Amino acid sequence: MASSAGPYPVLIGMGARHRLAEVVPTGARRAAVVTQDDVPWEVDAGIEQRRFVVPDGEAAKSLEVVEELCRRFARWGLSRADAVVAVGGGVVTDLAGFAAAVYHRGLPVVHVATTLLAQVDAAVGGKTGVNLPEGKNLVGAFWPPAAVLCDVETLSTLPPREYRSGQGEMAKYAFLGVSDLRDLNLEDAVAACVACKARFVADDEREGGRRALLNYGHTLAHALETVGGYDLRHGEAVGLGLRYAARLARRLGRIGDEGVAEHDRLVDAYGLPSRLPAGVACADLVAAMHRDKKATRGLTFVLDGPLGLEVVGGVAPDVVAATLGELVHP
C-alpha cells in the first residue's frame, strides 16, 4: 500500500498475526497493544509490550476515550521510540490509529485486523478518526500505518451478523471495478478489496478527489449511525446506503430501473437489510447528511451514472427526503 510516508506492507493469510514481530518498526523499544475485551486473539510484537483495553462498540470512538488512552500511554512512559499496535476491528484501528497520530505528535502504528470489515476497509488506507455527537469520523487524521496484518483465521470466530457487516463494505467494491467477490475464496476476496483500495489511495491519499468514491453508500450510512438508536451494524448501514444511492441516482435521471435492480441484487446476495429501520426520523437523517465530510457544496453524495461513480453536490433537500421515503417500511 502506498502512502506519503512510503509504501507499507499488507500481509493477508491464515496466521498473518504471527508475523507481527517482522513488521514492527525497526528500533521500537516497546509496543502499546490496543484492543478490546471481546477480541480473543493474542499477539507478540517481539519487544516489551503492554495491553491497553478500550471499550466495545461505536461509542468508544470518542475524544474522551482517546484522551484516556493517551493518558494511560503517558503513565506507562510510552515515548517516540515506541510503537502502537491495534488488534481488533474498525473501531480499534480507527481509535488506536488516531491516538498514535496525536500522541507525541505521531507514533508508528501497526494494525492487526481481526474482522472482515477492518480487513477489507477500515484498517487499510491510513484514515483514522473518532466521532462527535454531530457526526461520524468528524475528528481524525491521515496517519498511514507501518504495516497491516489481515489474518483470515480470526474471521472464523466472528458472529454471523458481524461477518455480514463486513460484506456490506465488500458490496461497494463491485461498483468500483472489482469482479464478483463471491466467486473468490476468502483470502483472495480480501486481497482484491485491499488492492482496489490501494489504487484509489495511491492516486489520492488525502481524499481530495477520486478517493471519495470509496465512500459509496456511506453518506446515508454515516447519517444512520450519527442519529443513532437503530439496531444496525456499519456494514448493514452501508448496504442500505448503496440501495439509497441507487434510488437517488434514478430520481436524478442518472441511472434507470435496471441499475437500481443491480444494486438490490448484490446487496440482497449478502443478506443485508432492504428497508430503513422502523420509525426512522427522515428529517434527522437529512440534517446529519448536511454535516457529512463530503458536503462542501450542499448535500453531497457518491452516485452512479453514465460515466460510473461520481461525487455529486448540491442535491436538493426535498429530493433527498423523498428518496428516503422509497426505503421506509410500508
Catalogue the active-site residues: 105, 127, 169, 197, 207, 211, 215, 218, 222, 234
3-state secondary structure of 56: coil
Beta carbons within 10 angstroms of residue 302's beta carbon: 23
3-state secondary structure of 48: strand
Torsion angles phi and psi, residue 39, rounded to 5: -90, 115
Q: Which residues pair with 301 in a beta bridge?
A: 312
Torsion angles phi and psi, residue 201, rounded to 5: -65, -40
Kindly list the distances between the CA atom of residue 121 and the CA atoms of 38, 95, 107, 161, in Å, as whole numbers in the listed order: 21, 15, 22, 17
Give just the sign of the alpha carbon dihedral 210, 211, 215, 219: negative
DSSP result, 118-161: IIIIITSSSEEEEEETTEEEEEEEE---SEEEEEGGGGGGS-HH
70 burial via Cβ count (<10 Å: 0-12, 13-18, 19+): middle
Check: CB of residue 305 under 8 Å from CB of residue 259: no
Q: What is the largest CA-CA distance in the chain?
A: 60
Rounded to an integer, what distance in angstroms lies between the CA atom of residue 63 and that of residue 255? 40
C-alpha cell belonging to residue 71: 493518558
